[in-house]
Structure 1
Amino acid sequence: MKGWMYILLCSDGSYYTGSTNNMDKRYIEHQNGKGANYTKKRLPVKLLYYEEYSRIDTAFYREKQVQGWSRKKKEALMEGKLDALPGLSKAYRDIK
């Protein structure tokens, strides 16, 4: 079963990262306030980015990975600046 990892822009300017096996249906659920509690309180939302996978479990794994990223790292991903991702993974204490 196919899966998608996606990033939404919420009305308060925050990002929401999720995964689903039906992108169209899930986006409509978010817009109608039937998605996650987080997005329900921050409507409307806008789909900014998604990745398609051949398996839903792979999309779920990717969701958990990206959820832990900083805002700047998520923005680099959405802008296709993949070469910048490793540098955005460094902790401030490691930068000298």
Structure 2
Amino acid sequence: MRQPAVYIMASGRNGTLYTGVTANLARRVHEHREGLLPGFTTRYGCKLLVWYEMHATMLHAITREKQIKAGSRDAKRAMIEAFNPNWRDLYGDLA
């Protein structure tokens, strides 16, 4: 699944959130889940894919990521709950 995407990983419902951008969502989420790359998501246990949005170009995805990161935590929570009210791990839906 090679398509630019913006995504949010969480440690749990209302837990720590991480917003990222990638060209291959399934691969990148797998890396977060397995702790393959050291960093924020490994340190804070952000292993659940709770929100994502696909984009036509990487430039659009990066612009959207910056917009989301500039927003408040409450705005991110509202966005997640509108898309995924139960904070279900969406990783299995990527196949």
TM category (shorter chain) comes to 0.7 to 0.9
- Structure-2 separation of matches of 1:39 and 1:77: 20
1:16 and 2:24 matched: no
Structure 1 residue aligned with 2:3: 2
CA offsets 1:48-67 (integer angstroms, 9 cap, x no match): 00000011121111111101
Where structure 1 has 5 or more consecutive residues not aligned to the other structure, the ranges are: 82-96
- Structure-1 separation of matches of 2:37 and 2:69: 17
SS at match of 2:44: coil
Q: CA deviation at 1:44?
A: 5.1
Contact 1:26–1:35 (CA under 8 A) maintained in structure 2: no
- Structure-1 separation of matches of 2:38 and 2:28: 10
Identity within the alignment, %:
32
Contact 1:9–1:46 (CA under 8 A) maintained in structure 2: yes
SS at match of 1:50: strand
1:30 and 2:32 matched: yes
> What is the root-mean-square deviation in Å for CA atoms of aligned residues?
2.2
Contact 1:17–1:63 (CA under 8 A) maintained in structure 2: yes
Structure 1 residue aligned with 2:42: 40
CA offsets 1:56-82 (integer angstroms, 9 cap, x no match): 12111111110121111111122339x
Structure 1 residue aligned with 2:60: 58
- Structure-2 separation of matches of 1:30 and 1:73: 23
Structure 1 residue aligned with 2:70: 68
Where structure 2 has 5 or more consecutive residues not aligned to the other structure, the ranges are: 84-95
Indicate the structure (1 or 2) with the bigger Cα radius of gyration: 1
